[in-house]
Amino acid sequence: MRMRKKKHAAERLAACENLILPLSVHEADYRKAEENPTYYDIAEIFGNENPLHLEIGCGKGQFICELAKRNPDINYIAIEVCDDVAVLACERVKEAKLNNVRFMVCGAEYILKYFKQSTIDRIYLNFSCPYPKARYAKHRLTSPIFLPMYKKLLKNGGEIHQKTDNMHFFEYSIERYSELGFRMQNVSLDLHKSGFEGNIVTEYEQRFLDLGQPIYRLEAVNIKE
Ligand SMILES: C[S@@+](CC[C@H](N)C(=O)[O-])C[C@H]1O[C@@H](n2cnc3c(N)ncnc32)[C@H](O)[C@@H]1O
């Protein structure tokens, strides 16, 4: 996502500190993150035992904000690697006075450091960068780097809800889900003509809708052996 540098992003993030979860020092190699866990105490953070849903790559937060408003009995953690974008999402949630959303401002590569296995009910991937060039494929949020992490963290029957405008990325993701034994359901090749109810339009989704492009969507269910 190309953004003009937001003025004083660090100061503005600091003003939202109650919403931002602390990060430990990250290992240079994300593959070692799991070896030195500093797990969040989710019940303490939210003050309840409600289900936990993540959004990875939340952008400016339009989706997570509306989702959290509609579902006050679900806890949400939104992860965004780019400070300049994350600050807008944090400010939006602060303004809306939502107490069921927190943020992690870091790359999703490190999630195994912070969450215990089989504790997450759902993960949202909305318009994740498709990284079309093969040499950047590992950065795709459904690559074999990320999917095994989600599989560990999701409960049995936990779901990944993915939307994208990119058919090739959609196909790629379906192949990766299949390889790991996820069961796919509610697959749509044109979400907005599918009769699907309750969709929350993200910032990127609105751009593609304005261009008349179809939106691809699926739910991948985690089946643990
Ligand atoms: C194309 S934007 C989509 C934003 C938003 N989900 C939407 O639909 O409008 C993708 C977002 O994912 C973030 N992102 C990319 N790789 C990430 C990673 N490894 N961890 C966390 N966020 C990431 C980017 O910074 C960007 O904000």
Spans of all domains in the chain: 1-23+42-115
- What is the C-alpha to C-alpha distance for residues 68 and 76, in angstroms, rounded to an integer? 7
Q: What is the pTM of this model?
A: 0.96
Domain 1-23+42-115, CATH among 3.40.50.300, 3.20.20.140, 3.40.50.150, 3.50.50.60: 3.40.50.150
CB 20 within 8 Å of CB 83: no
Return the pLDDT at 30: 84
Residue 209 in 3-state DSSP?
helix
Q: Tell me the backbone φ, ψ of residue 22, rounded to 5 degrees.
A: -70, 150
Residue 83 Cβ inside 6 Å of ligand 1? The answer reads no
**How would DSSP label each residue in 31-70?**
GGGGGS-----HHHHHTS---EEEEES-TTSHHHHHHHHH
Return the pLDDT at 31: 84
Which letter does DSSP use for residue 202 in this model?
Answer: -
Return the pLDDT at 193: 97
Q: What is the pLDDT of residues 138-151, one digit of tens each?
A: 999 999 999 999 99
Cα-to-centroid distance, 154 and ligand 1 (Å): 20
Q: What is the pLDDT of residues 71-130, one digit of tens each?
A: 999 999 999 999 999 999 999 999 999 999 999 999 999 999 999 999 999 999 999 999
Q: What percent of the chain has pLDDT over 70?
A: 97
Residue 56 Cβ inside 6 Å of ligand 1? The answer reads yes
Q: Tell me the backbone φ, ψ of residue 158, rounded to 5 degrees.
A: -65, 155
Asked whether residue 3 carries a pLDDT value surpassing 60, the answer given is no
